[in-house]
Amino acid sequence: MKIRCREQKEKMPSKKDQYSSIHEAVKNDDVVEMQSMVQQGAGLNDVDPKFKFTPLHWASHQGSLECIHWLLWHGADYSEVTTELWTPAHIAAIRGQDACLQALAANGADMNAKDIRGRTPAHLAAAHGNSYTLQSILRKGVDIAALDSVGWSAIHAASFHGRLGCLQLLHRWGASVEDIDHAGNTPAHMAASEGHLHCLKYIVSSSTSISNALAARNDQGETPRDLAQQYLKHDCLDYINGVEYDMNNPENAEDLTFPAHMAAYKGDLAYLQMLVETGVVSVNERDDKGATPSHKAAGNGQIEVLKWLIEQGANTMIVNSNGENPKDVARRFGKLACLKLLGGDTVELEDIANEDIGPDSIPEQPQKRSEARGRALRKVDELIHLLDIAKMNFRQLGGVLQEDEKEREKEREHSRLIRELETQLEYEREKREKLESQLDRLRARVHSLTLQLEDARSEAPLVRAEPAEEKVEKQKKKRKPKPSQKQAGVFVLRGVSK
């Protein structure tokens, strides 16, 4: 007996084995195996002893959308956290699992939950460059200005990690590029210190003024230029030096030498029209860097100026010294209206900086889609069957469903329409009978008139015979007139001798 009990204990999986089995099933996206593990006693919220992940965490990590749906249907807790206080929403944001995050949010997961460092899913999505997931988070109405433990908002995280697509997306949703953290650093400080030139250019072009972006100092008195010099970010340093030189030397600024370019940059359309229409400058005039007014208008988002230049025949294929045409400049500075006008693709902001979007930014599709759809359809059928049973029980207890009330209302309306149509049909039937009786009387009248007409035609030749002959004789007499005396001839005797 003891031997048999020992053998049974050896066959039964331990609690630890059940934990590992259900987590492995979720990792493999095997819903059937996961259901089997739950039936054997594994819990929906059991924690992995190694990573402290629940099955919902692993499903969010692997992008197992079907597993997430099954777990949420059966009551899995989406507020469980790991040692880092990461919820499944944090894991989905890190991995860029957009569909999984939408499923969690639809079932009530908190998108403003913070981890041990005070970071929300928006912080993590921006830091990892998962712009698709970040956009789904922003659509849920999260606090875009939420700060972590060091005072960073999501736009600081995107600037520090060089995620241009996420930076543009956050700015479009209302995040300020001039926010400061607890140390007084702006996003420009972050981008300059890490050498992300493309992000720094976008921040400068999106600031209220260039001086606000480049002259801002943190708590240590450092400007973005100081940080770029300190960390040997030469590209950012050269860019900042060039911008500051133009600011500090207005006598050499290009608005003195190239007024049309500066007018296009500032959006002064009236001044630009005066310069071009009077023949002072050409619409394709190039400055010392090879740029045309179209480059300046596209780079600063002056859509009206750019539209007028195109109408005047400006060549938008001219490239500057950097090999960029106006469309490339508009794309670099994120001016979507100008980019669209110039024929660029503006479907998604993230397409402007594909190099900044990691491989995890595109949501992964669940494996074995056909099998997953089949299981989901069976689940739908099962729920419909249960719903029908519940409705039947409710009706048996004397309840009236809203759909039953609507059906009764439709029946009453149909009955009313049927009565109206029957009344109208009876009226039309009586009217038809009256018309038929009237038609019969008219047919009898026509028949009697026809008989009278035939009788009149049969008597007509006998009456008219004599007058016709007399008429002919009278006509003949008229043709032979009697000779009158007035018309008698005169005889003349000619050629008779005396």
Domains in the chain, start-ordered, CATH in brackets? 254-344 (1.25.40.20)
- Predicted confidence (pLDDT) at residue 348 exceeds the cutoff of 80: no
- Predicted confidence (pLDDT) at residue 154 exceeds the cutoff of 80: yes
Read off the pLDDT of each residue in 32-59 and give the average, rounded to a whole number. 82
In this predicted structure, what is the pLDDT of residue 377?
85
Threshold 0.85, pTM exceeds: no
In this predicted structure, what is the pLDDT of residue 429?
92
- Predicted confidence (pLDDT) at residue 386 exceeds the cutoff of 90: no
Read off the pLDDT of each residue in 246-257 and give the average, rounded to a whole number. 57
In this predicted structure, what is the pLDDT of residue 461?
57
Read off the pLDDT of each residue in 319-331 and give the average, rounded to a whole number. 85
Of 325 and 25, the structure prediction assigns the larger pLDDT to 325
In this predicted structure, what is the pLDDT of residue 137?
95
Q: What is the 3-state secondary structure (H, E, C) of the chain?
A: CHHHHHHHHHHCCCHHHHHHHHHHHHHCCCHHHHHHHHHCCCCCCCCCCCCCCCHHHHHHHHCCHHHHHHHHHCCCCCCCCCCCCCCHHHHHHHHCCHHHHHHHHHCCCCCCCCCCCCCCHHHHHHHCCCHHHHHHHHCCCCCCCCCCCCCCCHHHHHHHCCCHHHHHHHHHCCCCCCCCCCCCCCHHHHHHHHCCHHHHHHHHHHCCCHHHHHCCCCCCCCCHHHHHHHCCCHHHHHHHHHHHHHHHCHHHCHHHHCHHHHHHHHCCHHHHHHHHHCCCCCCCCCCCCCCCHHHHHHHCCCHHHHHHHHHCCCCCCCCCCCCCCHHHHHHHCCCHHHHHHCCCCCCCHHHHHHHHCCCCCCCCCCCCHHHHHHHHHHHHHHHHHHHHHHHHHHHHCCCCCHHHHHHHHHHHHHHHHHHHHHHHHHHHHHHHHHHHHHHHHHHHHHHHHHHHHHHHHHHHHHHCHHHHHHHHHHHHHHHCCCCCHHHCCCCCCCCCCC
Indicate the pLDDT class of residue 27, thresholds 50, 70 and 90: confident
pLDDT in tens, 92-102: 999 999 999 99
In this predicted structure, what is the pLDDT of residue 3?
43
